């Protein structure tokens, strides 16, 4: 089939939208290389969702952690993957959730949810760099002790990640693919540690008695907070499709195979990876070790050190450092795509839609890097040192960083309700007449009753995770539950209001420009 015929097939197979097509839908396929294959998308998916450092937070729940893993995997993660695959096949365009929400709900909600999905990318970039700092501190407890040194190290890592992100897309993708394979090796090494530990006759550090698996909703001694921790750990399914316009394939069938294939295998690999690492840490180290560990790297490396020796632990350390260095690059590249499409669609300055000679969104990547550097300067320099009388710099930084991180992750979780809402609105819109309903039905890659269950269950679990995250503090030593609710809740609400006002202003500006062009 020729390229022209393939484009016709793609156009014919897409549900006809009620709203006008976005400029980015036409521009991206012509300007950016279409090079992403299934293996590339799986690698992107692993880096988006499988953050091995999350094991510290979830291991605190002991055997009950697996109850929450199963619950959230079945009721949120799998539904999210199914809905993401459906929307990705219907609208295989750059920007994923930004584009899908435009098709379903219009320009205001599109830009609004785009902001909610974009800003947490800055946090994830800084968090990846911070974990590399944790690795260095694990190697030597005397390194990077002052807060300003940690901030400086994070800025250097961010700038390096920004520089690498400006290289050819295929070069960056090779690094991502290699890192995904290395991550699989690390999971295998950690899992092997648990098997050898038990084979040698050592007792498990965690009780797996039936009673230990129970969900406990007691406000004081319960484990309901794990619902938020586990759900937030499984966010990110839509991120690889921010580069949806760069998926290879001349026909809709080829693109569909890549989109559905990476979500199927990526989801399975992520679930297996989280289960394996959680099991290994609980068997060898236990919940108490997770509670006392200075950072997640100490816990992970300690699991391998204890069983396989120092050399294997050092290899694990190096691999984890490499993973989060490439994750920082990944976060810049993928989040910058949202800035790129918004620039092309004239919802942000047009310069953000420009490409360099290697057809990389240079200005969008540079802005993403600058925002991350500014965020680091505020958290690690301004907050702890601007007013010394407020307290210890390390404590101030921990409080500011944790509260901000929780607020941004809640915004991200909120944005993940929209794919479910988008599909629901598209369904009700296209069922108004027979021809439109038939066109919509032809696009379904899964039975609609299954999708309907996903549309109902997924947002409920996500909403529950948001509520639980607001109710239970992440740092009880420094902030109580009531203080946490006030701080995180108010900051999240302020950001939502700012995003809503910005979206109304941008949407009205675009409408006025279009009206002026029509009148001319």
Domain membership flag for residue 17: no
pLDDT at 439: 80
pLDDT at 518: 62
Domain membership flag for residue 349: yes
Nearest partner of 55 among 302, 390, 349, judged by Cα: 302
Residue 7 has pLDDT above 60, yes or no: no
3-class secondary structure, 257: helix
Domain membership flag for residue 141: yes
Domain membership flag for residue 421: yes
Residue 162: Cβ-neighbour burial (10 angstroms; 0-12, 13-18, 19+): buried
d(CA 270, CA 192) in angstroms, rounded, equals 17
pLDDT at 55: 93
Domain of 59 in residue numbering reads as 35-384+394-519
Check the CA dihedral 226-228-231-234 and report its sign.
negative
Residue 229 has pLDDT above 80, yes or no: yes
CATH of the domain at 76: 1.20.1740.10
Could you report the per-residue pLDDT of 344-367, keeping only the tens digit for each? 999 999 999 999 988 999 999 999
Domain count, the chain: 1
Choice among 210-214, 221-225, 324-328 with the minimum mean pLDDT: 221-225
Domain membership flag for residue 89: yes
Report the residue count for the chain.
520
Domain membership flag for residue 30: no
pLDDT at 141: 83
Domain membership flag for residue 139: yes
For residue 274, give every residue at least 6 positions away whose Cβ sits within 8 Å of its Cβ, in sequence order, or none. Answer: 50, 54, 55, 58, 69, 233, 234
Average pLDDT along the chain: 91
d(CA 236, CA 81) in angstroms, rounded, equals 10
Residue 56 has pLDDT above 50, yes or no: yes
Domain membership flag for residue 351: yes
Residue 216 has pLDDT above 50, yes or no: yes
pLDDT at 453: 97
- Contact criterion met (CB below 8 Å) for 478 and 398: yes
Start-to-end Cα distance in the chain: 41
Query: Where residue 266 falls among pLDDT bands split at 50, 70, 90?
Result: very high
Could you report the per-residue pLDDT of 88-140, keeping only the tens digit for each? 999 999 999 999 999 999 999 999 999 999 999 999 999 999 999 999 998 88
Rg (CA), the chain: 23
Half-sphere exposure of 238 (CA within 13 A, CB side): 34
Q: Quote the pTM value.
A: 0.93
Q: Which helix (H) or strand (E) holds 306?
A: helix 296-308
pLDDT at 389: 65
Distances (CA, A) of 319 to 179, 284, 332: 8, 20, 20
């Amino acid at each position: 089939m020729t390229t022209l015929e393939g484009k016709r097939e793609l156009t014919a197979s897409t549900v006809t939208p009620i709203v006008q097509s976005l400029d980015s839908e036409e521009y991206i396929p012509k300007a950016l290389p279409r090079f992403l294959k299934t293996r590339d998308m799986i690698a992107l998916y692993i880096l988006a969702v499988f953050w091995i450092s999350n094991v510290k937070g979830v291991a605190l729940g002991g055997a009950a952690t697996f109850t929450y893993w199963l619950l959230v995997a079945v009721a949120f993660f799998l539904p999210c993957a199914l809905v993401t695959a459906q929307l990705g096949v219907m609208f295989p365009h750059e920007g994923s959730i930004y584009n899908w929400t435009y098709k379903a709900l219009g320009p205001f909600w599109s830009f609004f949810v785009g902001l909610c999905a974009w800003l947490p990318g800055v946090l994830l970039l800084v968090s990846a760099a911070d974990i590399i700092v944790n690795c260095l501190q694990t190697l030597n407890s005397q390194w990077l002790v002052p807060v300003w040194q940690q901030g400086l190290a994070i800025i250097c890592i961010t700038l390096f990640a920004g520089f690498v992100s400006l290289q050819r897309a295929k070069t960056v993708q090779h690094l991502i693919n290699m890192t995904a394979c290395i991550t699989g090796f690390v999971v295998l090494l950690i899992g092997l540690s648990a098997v050898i530990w038990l084979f040698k006759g050592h007792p498990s550090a965690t009780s797996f008695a039936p009673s230990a698996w129970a969900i406990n909703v007691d406000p004081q001694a319960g484990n309901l907070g794990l619902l938020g921790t586990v759900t937030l750990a499984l966010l990110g399914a839509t991120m690889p499709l921010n580069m949806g316009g760069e998926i290879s394939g001349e026909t809709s069938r080829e693109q569909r195979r890549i989109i559905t294939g990476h979500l199927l295998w990526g989801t399975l690999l992520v679930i297996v990876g989280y289960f394996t690492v959680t099991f290994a840490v609980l068997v060898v180290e236990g919940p108490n070790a997770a509670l006392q560990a200075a950072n997640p790297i100490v816990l992970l490396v300690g699991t391998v050190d204890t069983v396989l020796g120092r050399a294997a632990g050092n290899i694990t350390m190096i691999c984890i450092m490499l993973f989060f260095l490439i994750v920082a690059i990944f976060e810049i590249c993928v989040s910058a795509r949202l800035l790129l499409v918004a620039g092309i669609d004239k919802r942000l300055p047009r310069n953000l839609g420009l490409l360099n000679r290697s057809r990389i969104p240079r200005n969008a990547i540079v802005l993403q890097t600058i925002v991350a550097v500014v965020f680091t300067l505020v958290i690690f320099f301004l907050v702890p040192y601007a007013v010394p009388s407020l307290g210890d710099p390390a404590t101030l930084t921990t409080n500011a960083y944790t509260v901000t991180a929780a607020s941004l992750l809640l915004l991200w979780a909120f944005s993940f309700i929209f794919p479910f809402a988008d599909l629901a609105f598209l369904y009700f819109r296209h069922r108004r007449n027979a021809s439109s309903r038939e066109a919509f039905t032809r696009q379904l890659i899964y039975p609609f009753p299954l999708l309907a269950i996903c549309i109902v269950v997924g947002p409920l679990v996500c909403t529950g995770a948001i509520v639980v995250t607001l109710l239970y503090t992440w740092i009880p030593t420094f902030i109580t539950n009531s203080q946490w609710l006030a701080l995180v809740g108010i900051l999240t609400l302020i950001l939502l209001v700012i995003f809503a006002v910005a979206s109304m202003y941008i949407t009205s500006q675009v409408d006025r420009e279009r009206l002026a062009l029509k009148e001319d």
